[in-house]
Amino acid sequence: MGFLAAESLAEQIARHISEQIITGALVEGERIQELRIASDLNVSRGSVREALLILERSYLIQIFPRRGAIVAEMSAAQVRSLFDVSSLILGSTVQRTSEMWRQQDLALIQTILPDLEVQVQAGNIEEFYDQVFIFLEKLHFIVDNAYLKDMFENLLPSMRRSYFLTLSTSKRELQEAFSLFKPVVEAILVRKAEQAALFMTDFCRHLRNLVLESLARMKQIELAWARRSKKS
């Protein structure tokens, strides 16, 4: 594992584990093996425990007394709750951006749509959503609200985990996502703050529905495999 100087050791360990959870290498209900991680990464167990506290704040794991850390469940109810809160946070972010951006921020806002259009044409679903959320993260430099930024950063890993499930969706649905995000950016540029927030809600609702559909398909497959295993 290559460590980055800009992050603390615990943050880098947390990033390493979070990628395993986001991509499904670690599945819901699976126990996080502190000793194995410490050995694999050649770090102390104390650093791993500190990393787990970071992951708990990101809602990727749950820590139980005497049981240790368990990968958090991803249920339909949890997905709905995640997007309910995310929609509020992201709506506030784009609304404040609409009101506060200055001339030096214009390039950041204007370049996102051409970049996203490239990903749509290529059918790169993960890269499309990654760029959307990187853009939204950068808006916090404009908004300059530490509380809003902190909430966004804590929810982002769970958001990434959720939209990772949508990688099998069609290019048509990706085009629809772009058509819903485009008005958000356009409203920001003309400083229509309330409209930007409403359009952001529409975009979040679309992504939520895709995640719920993907999650339902995944659960059906798991159930079918479980039934087949019992018969054999």
Are the C-beta atoms of 84 and 211 separated by less than 8 Å? no
Q: How confident is the model at residue 88 (pLDDT cuts 50, 70, 90)?
A: very high
Every domain range in the chain assigned CATH 1.10.10.10: 9-71
pLDDT at 3: 42
pLDDT at 4: 44
Every domain range in the chain assigned CATH 1.20.120.530: 76-219
pLDDT at 65: 86
Closest CA to 16 of 41, 49, 39, 33: 41
pLDDT, tens digit, 9 for 90 and up, residues 195-207: 999 999 999 999 9
Question: How many percent of the chain have pLDDT more than 70?
Answer: 92
Q: What is the mean pLDDT of the chain?
A: 91
pLDDT, tens digit, 9 for 90 and up, residues 7-44: 789 999 999 999 999 998 999 999 999 999 999 999 99
Q: How confident is the model at residue 1 (pLDDT cuts 50, 70, 90)?
A: very low
The top-level CATH class assigned to 9-71 is mainly alpha
Are the C-beta atoms of 211 and 80 separated by less than 8 Å? no
The top-level CATH class assigned to 76-219 is mainly alpha
